[in-house]
Structure 1
Amino acid sequence: MVEGTPRIVVVGGGFAGFYALRYLHRRLAAEQAELVLVNPTDYLLYSPLLPEVATGVIEARHIAVSLRRALPRARLVLGHVTGADLAARTVTVTSAPASGPTEVTRERWDRLVLVPGSITRQFDIPGVAEHARGLKTLVEAVYLRDHLMHQLDAADAEPDTDEGRARRRERLTVVAVGAGYTGTEFVAQTQRWLRTIERRWNRTGAGDIRWILVDLAPTVLPELGPDLGLLALDLLRDRGVDVRLGVSVASADDRTVTLTDGTVVATRTLVWGAGVTASPLVAGLGLPTSKGRLQVDADLSVPGVPNLWAAGDAAAVPDLAAALPAATPPPTPPTAQHAQRQGTALGRNVAASLGVGTARPYRHRDLGLVADLGGRDAVAKPLGVPLTGPLAKVVTRAYHLYALPAMANRLRVATDWLWQAVLPPESTQLDVVRPEDARLAAAQGTRVYGSPAG
């Protein structure tokens, strides 16, 4: 690299970071900019399909898009950015655990793009950090699948005594928190998947499993609107899922979950999907935030800091398409769709700062949302048109294949769906993830910031 070449450092290899770098790859020549990506893994995770990894429908690596293959010009630094010196124009990088002994280095930047994403919101609830498991990383998805199968195997082997029956009830009860996409899709898809493999057990059927889905919100899948949310709620309850709205978790331990209405549920499985919050990096920058997200202008630049941009789940990007006349625009919701398109806008505006192209404010109308409920069931709202049933299922899968940013991954995911349709369902238990590695702070890498996730 020629000395003096501007260095663009992108913090985070999620949707926003990936699409920003892909734009810069295409529009800037090597001599115009040095591209650096700091990310704890060497892949972009297509997180909307994590529930299908948790059910074994899709192989975990098939939703992991290789960053090195997709972005060959970018120098990949494996680690977490744990601090930024805006005056000196450096970021502090703590190496990822898998890369060996922890090392702390610094990366110099001329242009800095902050897209560190989000972590699962915990709130300050006793026992959640120790006993709840999220569904935001591959580690968590693989662990949840094996954990559920282990609990069902153990329940099937419990003796027919009072103590054995009590332990069996605990093992066959699943509490999921959050009736948004994560919690609803996980419960719906996992329940349907277990019905396809229930012959694995001698004394236990899928109907013996007690599913409890709780949320403080008054509706299921509120992002899809009241009508589709009600349809999803009715479908879940028709399947026997105990959906409790207006309720959350007060505390948890290794064998019980206490709800805010005083109900104590005996369970060995607490799945946590109660929304997201910005990466802990944002809180340590000393910059203005809005509900924990970094404040940015409509062109995704950070006010008052030259050559600094931010987007995605960690930034409160004004939603110009949703603003009423003369009203303050609300922030865009933390969705993969917005992060992807904001990434492209980031790339365009950063390139413009180097004299290539013209910067423009971010404006994007939502193309619609989809939710896979397992089997032939789904709900979708493409371009504002509500769909349910098999047609919504087709639209949902077509959207995911379209949104996956690598053809090799699209083909692998499509092949997984094909094999699922013609071959017996996969029911092996691998036990490749230790329970302590699947805790929220460990799986989502927040321990490097010196505080738990949330």
Structure 2
Amino acid sequence: MARVVIVGAGFAGYRAAQALHRTLGAEAEIVLINPTDYFLYLPLLPEVAGGVLDPRRLAVSLTATLPGVRLQLGYVDRIDLATRTVHHIDPEGRAGAVTYDRLVVTAGSVNKVLPVPGIADHAHGFRSIPEALYLRDHVIRQVELAASTEDAEERAARLTFVVVGAGYTGTEVAAAGHLLTRSLLRRRPALRDTPVRWLLLDRASRVLPELRPRLSRSAARTLGRRGVEIRTGTSVSEATTGGVRLTDGRFVPTRTVVWTVGVRPEPLVDALGLAAVEGRVRVDEYLRVPGHPDVFACGDVAAVPDLTRPGELTAMTAQHAERQGKAVARNVAASLGHGSERPYRHRDLGLVVDLSGMKAVADPLGVPLTGFAAKVATRGYHLLAMPANRFRILLDWVVDACTRRQAVQLGLVRSPAVRLDTTQPATTPPRSPHAAVGSVAG
């Protein structure tokens, strides 16, 4: 019996495992290596940070939804292409190995950390449940500490929140965070007349540069009316314990820096010794690694040629990763004698950006939408894209619309565990967080 090993259970890995099992059934053993027993639906993380969704809603059980797939909990240590062996370390530190007939590398991506002084020590990323839970707790804590101090400068710094990166994630984090703080301040008489600042920074000339200008302007207007300060053409040049210095020379006192400037391919790529493009494994249009007919790669970790735009690569988005996961499953099955392979070619289905409250911007199938119509389209898209937990998510949305948000710290995640200099990719062992000290967002 052939064995197919899939490294990583993100959008690409999850869909690849699902489609392969449906196609091959009991004719092949499918092994999925992942450090957690769930697939994480990343696009809804800002709603966890904003206190709208329970984090469990975004965690889709791998064993429950992929019953025919063998889950191997662990971090990938190395891959020996010569002996077709994937070496891994389980959550208790024990080493193991599994051989393969076909390998699918879908290890995904990690936070992109630029060489900005202090950022690695004083900022936090936003690509995991721990990071979202930490940010929610941290924002609530800063509001509570601001309410208890008589020092005006300290209060202002604690009520200033800086989000670096105005792409999808950064824009949604700023939108959700601002509404959360507005809700928190209404419950604290001492802070009702105190201004709260959310700054959204980006070197680009506009927010959401991936969207058409009309939708970008609509998003900026929505955030601006709420009070979010948008600074385009501006980023952070230095982060310190007391705040951040911007590239325009101004210093902003703050205790919160959220880093969402983008992602980079998982560092596992570097250890494979394969040809790479911009840090991503080079693959052909069939998602196969040239020179290695038994190895495939897709998702953020792969440099997939965009057949709709000759000479360019597909973007590192969840939409591409999910489709490529299904495409690679078809081609892996074809390599084992089931069906025929096809090149990966996509049709852009449009993009959705949730601005919290009843606002959003979207362009499903190229139709530009703003306001409540976009909100309906956005939430509808997410419900359709979720592999499970749809009813629970819908119920959370209804409860949030009808009741006041709960505003208590859970205290489950502490700062050293999620700072950028200790955040690790999903497939390699994490470093100990105990060596980390001092943080703007502490």
Task: Bin the TM-score by the shorter chain.
Answer: over 0.9
Could you tell me whether the CA contact under 8 Å between 2:422 and 2:430 is conserved in 1?
no
Structure 2 equivalent of residue 428 of structure 1: 408
Q: Distance in 2 between matches of 1:218 and 1:410?
A: 37
Amino acid at match of 1:152: V
CA deviation string 1:8-63 (max 9, x = no partner): 10000001001101011111132x21111111111000000000000110000011
Three-state SS of the structure 2 residue aligned to 1:284 is: helix
Q: Distance in 2 between matches of 1:450 and 1:148?
A: 26
Could you tell me whether the CA contact under 8 Å between 1:121 and 1:276 is conserved in 2?
yes
Q: Does 1:448 align with 2:435?
A: no
User: Tell me, which stretches of 5 or more residues in structure 2 are unaligned?
Assistant: 434-442
Amino acid at match of 1:258: R
CA deviation string 1:55-82 (max 9, x = no partner): 1100000111000111112221112213
Q: CA deviation at 1:108?
A: 1.1
Q: Distance in 2 between matches of 1:260 and 1:55?
A: 28
Amino acid at match of 2:253: A
CA deviation string 1:255-299 (max 9, x = no partner): 211122222111100001000100010111111111111111000
Question: Which 4+ stretches in 1 moved above 4 angstroms?
Answer: 449-452
Amino acid at match of 2:47: E
Structure 1 equivalent of residue 273 of structure 2: 286
Structure 1 equivalent of residue 51 of structure 2: 56
Amino acid at match of 1:364: H
Deviates more, 1:170-179 or 1:197-206: 197-206
Structure 1 equivalent of residue 77 of structure 2: 82
Structure 2 equivalent of residue 272 of structure 1: 259
Q: Does 1:136 align with 2:136?
A: no
Could you tell me whether the CA contact under 8 Å between 1:137 and 1:444 is conserved in 2?
no
Could you tell me whether the CA contact under 8 Å between 1:134 and 1:272 is conserved in 2?
yes
The one of 411, 417, 420 equivalent to 2:397 is 417
Deviates more, 1:145-154 or 1:415-424: 415-424
CA deviation string 1:373-424 (max 9, x = no partner): 1111110000111100000000000000000012xx1111001001111122
CA deviation string 1:73-95 (max 9, x = no partner): 22211122132111111122133
Amino acid at match of 1:448: P
1:299-338 equivalence runs, <5 A: 299-321=286-308, 323=309, 327-328=310-311, 330-338=312-320
Structure 2 equivalent of residue 106 of structure 1: 97
Task: Give the TM-score of the pair, scaled to structure 2.
Answer: 0.94
Q: CA deviation at 1:235?
A: 2.0
Structure 1 equivalent of residue 115 of structure 2: 124
Structure 1 equivalent of residue 36 of structure 2: 41
Q: Distance in 1 between matches of 2:233 and 2:408?
A: 37
Identity rate of aligned residues, in percent? Answer: 51
Could you tell me whether the CA contact under 8 Å between 1:6 and 1:34 is conserved in 2?
yes
Q: Distance in 2 between matches of 1:306 and 1:448?
A: 28
Deviates more, 1:121-130 or 1:343-352: 121-130
How large is the Cα RMSD of the aligned pairs? 1.7
Amino acid at match of 2:68: R
Q: Does 1:66 align with 2:48?
A: no
With over 3 angstroms needed to count, the CA separation of the structure-2 counterparts of 1:235 and 1:144, relative to structure 1, is same
Q: Distance in 2 between matches of 1:311 and 1:206?
A: 51
Task: Give the TM-score of the pair, scaled to structure 1.
Answer: 0.92
Structure 2 equivalent of residue 238 of structure 1: 225
Could you tell me whether the CA contact under 8 Å between 2:243 and 2:254 is conserved in 1?
yes
Could you tell me whether the CA contact under 8 Å between 1:10 and 1:114 is conserved in 2?
yes
Could you tell me whether the CA contact under 8 Å between 1:214 and 1:245 is conserved in 2?
yes
1:164-313 equivalence runs, <5 A: 164-205=151-192, 208-313=195-300
Q: CA deviation at 1:124?
A: 1.6
Three-state SS of the structure 1 residue aligned to 2:220 is: helix
